[in-house]
Amino acid sequence: MTRWVLHVDMDAFFASVEQILNPALRGKPVIVAGSVEDRGVVSTASYEARRYGVRSAMPTSQARRLCPEGVFVTANHIAYEDYSGRVLEVLKGYSPLVEQASIDEAYLDVTGCESLYGDAVEVARRIKTAVTKETGLTCSVGVSSNRLLAKMASGLDKPDGLTVLRTEDVPRVLWPRPVGFLHGIGPSTAARLGTMGLSTIGDLARYPADLLVREFGVGGRHLRDAANGLDDTPVPPLGQAGEVKSLSRETTFATDIDDLAELERTLLGLSDQVARRLRRHGYRGRTVTVKIRKADFTTVTRSRTLAEATDLTEAVYEAARQTLRAFWRARLKVRLLGVAVSHLASAGRGPADLFDTSDKLRRVSKAVDRIKDRYGEGALTRARLLGREEERP
């Protein structure tokens, strides 16, 4: 039986969600960043903005120069996670073998599903239609006999594409392309291959395996296999691809901050965002980590482990605040501040204790979550954060 794997890749996901949430943004060059200030970094750009050369991981200041008419939007991760979950629910209806690779992409093994939904291409068409119907978003789908080629295929015709890439198509479609186009090869590896005279995927595919192993170790053989379109990595059942290790939020300041009170206010906002994500995903965590990037770009992290796992803003913030204060020194200037919670476990569902303060706080927090889910993140704000231009989570 021929194996069939699909790679579903959402198109300009963050920017597309913003255009769904605010129809006035449709057709405009939308640029989503962790911070809309010039020292932020682009998370995603709509296809309208990409025509100007704007790309992910580009400094916001550079994006402004390339696209002066760009509409800059602060990342709304709660909304993105919601839409990602809705897409995942669609995919789960077509195969038990689904692996979510990231917030905006997933693999499906649809081998043997022909009697239910038709061949792999028909499944891909159905998925594209269902995703758009459920979310209003478009996706590009790659269809192949393995994960690697399905991943490569989904990027060949974006946005809203459907591409079949068979192993026998590899010499014609992939070999003429630059070696850096091959999934899994980053700039440094591409540069090393270039010094060996390997500039195209075809050069790599034909290069002796033993010489690649000599240069790259056991990974050399994998590089040659990938260049020939070979990959036997399975798509595991949903939930077996690894648990979430931590949840975090961070912000880069427009100007370096040396005021401890202002840093603590920022820390409260970040702690609130992380705790909300913990509750949303049904986790509690025991270790709180504060990330501090100083003005000279030196980055340090400091952690504190709690006696009991929590999903409450108050507990996360207090641990983070104590951690920051222990590190704080006069005249320290902070460029970036972040909060993470790790050592996660599923939240228990035991009976509530009416005399347990934390349980009361949790019930209040979940009530606030429901209001924000319905009316938006700005519907309720902590009094201490009023008057501060807070980044949306």
When pLDDT is averaged across residues 112-141 and rounded to a whole number, the result is 93
pLDDT of res. 1: 63
pLDDT of res. 379: 53
Assess whether 254 and 376 both reside in one domain: yes
In whole angstroms, what is the distance from residue 303 CA to residue 305 CA?
Answer: 7
Assess whether 195 and 309 both reside in one domain: no
CA nearest to 212, candidates 195, 193, 231: 193
Assess whether 206 and 274 both reside in one domain: no
Assess whether 312 and 372 both reside in one domain: yes
CA nearest to 270, candidates 286, 288, 297, 255: 288
Tell which of 196, 227, 258 closes a domain.
227
**What backbone phi and psi angles, to 5 degrees, belong to 308?**
-135, 145
When pLDDT is averaged across residues 192-213 and rounded to a whole number, the result is 95
Assess whether 344 and 376 both reside in one domain: yes
- Cα distances (angstroms) measured from residue 169 to each of 72, 152, 199, 369: 40, 12, 20, 50
Q: What contacts 241, CB < 8 A, 6 or more positions away?
A: 99, 100
Cβ–Cβ under 8 Å, residues 140 and 11: yes
Assess whether 201 and 267 both reside in one domain: no
In whole angstroms, what is the distance from residue 318 CA to residue 328 CA?
Answer: 15
Q: Is 142 left (phi over 0), alpha (psi -120 to 50) or beta?
A: beta
Q: Is the peptide bond before 159 cis (omega within 30 degrees of 0)?
A: yes
- Which residues sit opposite 59 in a β-bridge? 41
Nearest 5°: CA angle at 220, between 215 and 221? 140
- Specify the CATH number for the domain of residue 363: 3.30.1490.100
Tell which of 193, 227, 261 closes a domain.
227
Assess whether 206 and 264 both reside in one domain: no
When pLDDT is averaged across residues 232-252 and rounded to a whole number, the result is 76
Mean pLDDT check: name the lowest of 27-31, 43-47, 96-100, 345-349.
345-349
Comparing 298 with 144, the larger pLDDT belongs to 144
Q: What contacts 277, CB < 8 A, 6 or more positions away?
A: 77, 78, 81, 247, 249, 393
Tell me, what amino acid is at 137? L
In a domain, 143, yes or no: no
- Specify the CATH number for the domain of residue 203: 1.10.150.20
In whole angstroms, what is the distance from residue 213 CA to residue 271 CA?
Answer: 46
Assess whether 253 and 304 both reside in one domain: yes
Cβ–Cβ under 8 Å, residues 162 and 144: no
In this predicted structure, the answer to whether residue 37 has a pLDDT above a threshold of 90 is: no
In whole angstroms, what is the distance from residue 212 CA to residue 29 CA?
Answer: 43
User: 168 exposed, middle or buried (CB, 10 Å; 0-12, 13-18, 19+)?
Assistant: exposed
Task: State the maximum Cα–Cα separation within the chain, in Å, rounded to a whole number.
Answer: 71
In this predicted structure, the answer to whether residue 232 has a pLDDT above a threshold of 60 is: yes
Tell me, yes or no, if 105 is annotated catalytic. yes
In a domain, 7, yes or no: no
Options 105, 250, 390, 391, the catalytic residue: 105
In this predicted structure, the answer to whether residue 58 has a pLDDT above a threshold of 70 is: yes
Assess whether 256 and 371 both reside in one domain: yes
Cβ–Cβ under 8 Å, residues 243 and 285: no
Cβ–Cβ under 8 Å, residues 353 and 359: yes
Mean pLDDT check: name the lowest of 66-80, 119-133, 191-205.
66-80
pLDDT of res. 352: 40
Tell me, what amino acid is at 86? R
pTM summary value: 0.68
Per-residue pLDDT reduced to its tens digit, 297-327: 888 999 998 888 899 999 999 999 999 999 9
In a domain, 360, yes or no: yes
Tokens of 165: 């890439």
- Which residues sit opposite 290 in a β-bridge? 302, 339
In a domain, 200, yes or no: yes
Q: Which domain holds residue 320?
A: 246-385
pLDDT of res. 101: 84
In a domain, 361, yes or no: yes
C-alpha 326, offset from chain centre: 31
Cβ–Cβ under 8 Å, residues 150 and 167: no
Number of domains in the chain: 2
Assess whether 381 and 252 both reside in one domain: yes
